[in-house]
Amino acid sequence: MNDDVRKYIYGALTVFVVGVLVWVGFLFVNACGFSLACNRGASSVDRTPVPTLLPANLPVMQGGETTASDQCRVAAIDLLGAWVEAGSPETDAFQFIDVNGQNCESTFDEVKPLFIESNLWYSGSRSCVTCHGADVAAASAQLDLSTYAGIIAGSRRANAESNGTDILGAGTWESSLLYDFVMTDKAGVSGHDDIASNLLIFAGKALPAPDPTTTPSPVVEATATPTP
Ligand code: HEC
């Protein structure tokens, strides 16, 4: 190879490398100035909103006062129980006591996702409606948990028009089929063999402290025992 060509190639390479270095240097100085203690490249902290059903399994903050938020924290199972004990209202609010002993109020809107969301009761859990879906004939136990009407109509329904077995224990939570099938492991029943969960969720909002001059309204006591 002829020396001129070699010089030409080396020259071009040098110009390229120097160009890249200058460019990187330019970007750095542009972003950071002449400081080496600059961390503009560090990824920024994401602020995540707190969804209503965020599982709140983190330990309670020590020494922390209750936060400014008026959301309540409750075991999902206790929220279900309070709803059933209140006569399972479709739109009316029902009350419950949250894990911090506050009086709280919620509606069916916050109960419904417990049946519909997957990955909720425990990591990787299937939603109830994957098996207990809107097609009554095809649904496990002919139970449709996808709508309020379906939940009320119960299980073992002959068809989409008829009611079946009440799963809500006629308003007595602990004697309900729902309680039984959500609280107790049913070995061999897929979807119920590992369902018992002490999931805590954010739900409802705190009620103002009861006025001592008026009679306090009755509140359903949360009683579920967390399973190990
Ligand atoms: C993988 C499928 C599957 C999932 C997911 C599932 N189930 Fe079931 N469920 C069944 C089957 C199957 C039965 C019937 C068991 C039997 O015949 O004893 C049943 C029975 C029930 C029953 C009793 C009905 C009756 O009359 O015996 C209730 C209540 C119930 N499920 C509620 C739920 C709830 C609430 C969820 C969600 C937290 C859920 N299921 C998730 C499959 C499932």
The per-residue pLDDT for 222 is: 61
**CA dist., res. 103 & res. 83, Å (int):** 14
pLDDT band at 55 (very low <50, low <70, confident <90, very high): low
Share of the chain above pLDDT 70, in %: 78
Q: 177 alpha carbon to ligand 1 midpoint, in Å?
A: 10
**Mean pLDDT of the 73-91 span:** 95
The pLDDT assigned to 39 comes to: 72
**Domain match, 79 and 170 both:** yes
Q: Are residues 159 and 97 in the same domain?
A: yes
What pLDDT does residue 32 have? 80
pLDDT of residue 57: 66
Whether residue 57 is contained in a domain is answered as: no
Going by the DSSP 8-state scheme, the letter that residue 181 receives in this structure is H
Query: How many C-beta neighbours within 10 Å does residue 161 have?
Result: 8
Do 182 and 102 reside in the same domain of the chain?
Answer: yes
Residue 75 has pLDDT above 80, yes or no: yes
Candidate of 143, 198, 201 to mutate for ligand 1, largest count of ligand atoms within 8 Å of Cβ:
143
The Cα–Cα gap between 167 and 151 comes to: 8
Which whole number is the average pLDDT over 170-188?
90
Judge if 76 and 35 occupy the same domain: no
Whether 24 is in a domain gets the answer yes
Q: What is the pLDDT of residue 209?
A: 72
Of 113, 55, 98, the closest CA to residue 224 belongs to 98
Asked whether residue 27 falls in the same domain as residue 77, the answer is no
Domain count, the chain: 2
Residues 135 and 76 in one domain: yes
Residue 168 tokens, joined: 């809500």
> What is the average per-residue pLDDT within 179-194?
84
The residue whose CA has the least distance to atom 22 of ligand 1 is 181
- Residue 81 within a domain: yes
DSSP state of 140: G
Domain encompassing residue 96: 71-206
Residues 97 and 181 in one domain: yes
Give residue 1's pLDDT.
58
Residue 79 has pLDDT above 80, yes or no: yes
Answer yes or no: is 4 within a domain. Answer: yes
Mean pLDDT of 178-186: 88
The pLDDT of residue 64: 47
Q: Which ligand 1 atom is at minimum distance from the Cα of 180?
A: 29
Atom of ligand 1 at shortest range from CA of 114? 38
Q: Are residues 18 and 78 in the same domain?
A: no
Q: Residues 25, 76: one domain?
A: no
With cut-offs at 50, 70 and 90, classify the pLDDT of residue 83: very high
In which order are the strands placed within the sheet that holds 200-206? 71-75, 200-206, 103-106, 94-97
Is 214 a domain residue?
Answer: no
22: alpha, beta or left? (left if phi > 0; alpha if psi -120 to 50)? alpha
- HSE-CB of 67 using CA atoms within 13 angstroms: 10
CA of 181 to the centre of ligand 1 (A): 7
| 193 in the same domain as 88 | yes
What's the pLDDT at 212?
Answer: 62
- Assigned domain for 56 exists: no
The reply to whether 25 and 116 lie within a common domain is no
Q: Whose CA is nearest to atom 38 of ligand 1?
A: 128
**126 within some domain:** yes
Average pLDDT over residues 47-66: 59
DSSP string for 79-134? HHHHHHHTT--SSS-EEEE-TTS-EEEE-HHHHHHHHH-SS-SSTTPPPHHHHS-S
121 CA closest ligand 1 atom index: 38
Instruction: For the chain, give the percent of residues with pLDDT over 90.
Output: 55
pLDDT band at 220, cuts 50/70/90? low
In eight-state DSSP terms, residue 161 is T
Res. 137: pLDDT tops 70: yes
The one-character DSSP state at 73 is E
> How many angstroms separate the alpha carbon of residue 54 from the centre of ligand 1?
24
In a shared domain, residues 6 and 80: no
How far does residue 86's CA lie from ligand 1's centre (Å)? Answer: 23
Kindly tell me if the per-residue pLDDT of 208 is higher than 60.
Answer: yes
Task: Spell out which residues line ligand 1, taking CB within 6 angstroms.
Answer: 115, 121, 126, 128, 130-132, 140-141, 143, 145, 155-156, 165, 167, 177-178, 181-182, 189-192, 195
What is the rounded CA–CA span in Å between residue 138 and residue 132? 8
**Residue 221 within a domain:** no
